[in-house]
Structure 1
């Protein structure tokens, strides 16, 4: 599940960078005593996201078959929407993220507000955590859950190590290029999830149009083979898609990829800085 690993690495690295930048700024300013507040924010967000994910997963298991398919479709559409929105947001705001964080931390230090610091870290981690919850939930509904979980844990571990290396180890990484190309992977995965949501709607009996077979590559490139599984993980490949699934996949990418690949304009705050 290479796509799961890459997307989890990307989202985890975004959260790790925020935490690392805040922690390193506190240490440089001589306020290491505030570091426990950072870990309180991280732990609170992680526990809430984990609890939400487990609750939604248990809820989906208890639902009747038709409602399970509908739940899968809704979770997939929410995940695709959140992944797309966050990819575009990070493309635009990533270049000025450090300056914004420094300003927010300085404000919290100036007002001696520990709650503001906890809330800053909590919101940053929770934002990425909620996106991951819906992405992994949608992916687990459409594939083998243990494979998804293993790839996700590997991605989070790698993100934590890279985040520590950047914040404290002096590692230099071209974040703009990293987020740009992993953003393309995010959009490809989101397109596959959106197409899978249409398939779930059909299985639930909510959508019965455009169900003609678009093509059949099951004898040439089966989805359960190694190459097919890699393509399925990266691009949402299906060896026997319907016409509707192909249309959703193509229209999704036509609506998002060109706009994403156009060079982003820097925010006004970054230009002034």
Structure 2
């Protein structure tokens, strides 16, 4: 529940901030008359996300077990790719998000067509909505359709909507840069777990070699080998006798660090490589941002910069991806 709550909160807040920026800008332009068009686009994006979620939840049951596993594993891989891209995109594009959205509104108002502004609202929210739907669906599948996971996501989205509204009204201030930094790091870990679960699905379907296929190394009793003897297509470890897969501890470990009581070598290697590579890139990006935002210091006795350009260069960058009144 905590894992899906945090995901619903982060992804929902991204969408809420986008809507807040659009509403604040149209209000400042004194164009409240076009707000219904923008809300129509937002509503269409939310409906699209719900339709995709319903199709994923109810549409796969007519397939064979192998077909369900292939679809589930493939969509989980797509989810990992989207989440990874969004983590780094949010950090790069966060500072220019407000300007980009305003530019889209200006172009829509200039054309004078209803569909132009509907499209601005739709595209701005659809990306976050589809990503959230895929990520939550993948996690709920890995948790075994636990009602608490669905409830956590719903609560996270509800809090995100409330927080976005308060930010847009200027009633609350939030360090969005720090918020997205911490939740971005959390999403890196979550995406690693989704990747491991995706590979498990594809191995069970026989698409990838592993313990469920003919290439699995077996002992004298026909059981799949565990540990170093099981390299590369056996089990890396099997702790199911100690940690039941349906226990609270197993669910907690899976939700936080992507750990499963039993994992194949392919899962472990892919999980570790993802965390090491993507985690290193994420931390390196944070260090670069910290250096960029750090104000320049002048040596003792040096004079104040004489040119406006030099003065501006010494000012740390600020996050401008918030609605009016939010920081």
Q: TM-score, normalised by structure 2?
A: 0.76
Q: More deviation in 74-83 or 100-109? A: 100-109
Q: More deviation in 169-178 or 196-205? A: 169-178
SS at match of 1:63: coil
**Within 5 Å, which residues of 2 pair with 1:67-146?**
67-145=67-145, 146=147
Partner of 2:235: 213
Q: More deviation in 85-94 or 232-241? A: 232-241
Partners in 1 of 2:246 and 2:53 — Cα distance? 27
Please identify the structure whose Cα radius of gyration is greater: 2
Partners in 2 of 1:43 and 1:158 — Cα distance? 18
CA RMSD, Structure 1 to Structure 2 (Å): 2.1
SS at match of 2:141: helix
Partners in 1 of 2:65 and 2:240 — Cα distance? 26
Partner of 1:12: 12
SS at match of 2:61: helix
The Cα shift of 1:228 comes to 3.2
Partner of 1:57: 57
The Cα shift of 1:161 comes to 0.6
- The structure in which a higher percent of residues are helix is 1
- Greater relative contact order structure (CA < 8 Å, 6+ sep): 1
Partner of 2:194: 193
Partners in 1 of 2:202 and 2:158 — Cα distance? 34
Partners in 2 of 1:117 and 1:168 — Cα distance? 22
Q: Does 1:257 align with 2:258?
A: no
User: Contact conserved, 1:223 with 1:237, CA < 8 A, in 2?
Assistant: no
Per-residue deviation, residues 47-105 of structure 1 (Å, max 9, x unmatched)? 11211221232221111011111111111111111111111111111122122222222
SS at match of 2:234: coil
**Within 5 Å, which residues of 2 pair with 1:225-236?**
225-236=247-258
Partners in 2 of 1:106 and 1:172 — Cα distance? 27
User: Contact conserved, 2:108 with 2:120, CA < 8 A, in 1?
Assistant: no
Partner of 2:311: none
Runs (5+) with no aligned partner, structure 1: none
Partners in 2 of 1:207 and 1:111 — Cα distance? 51
Q: TM-score, normalised by structure 1?
A: 0.90
Number of equivalences: 269
Q: More deviation in 185-194 or 147-156? A: 147-156
SS at match of 1:61: coil
Partners in 1 of 2:111 and 2:72 — Cα distance? 45
Per-residue deviation, residues 101-151 of structure 1 (Å, max 9, x unmatched)? 222223333443432221111011110111122212222322232333212
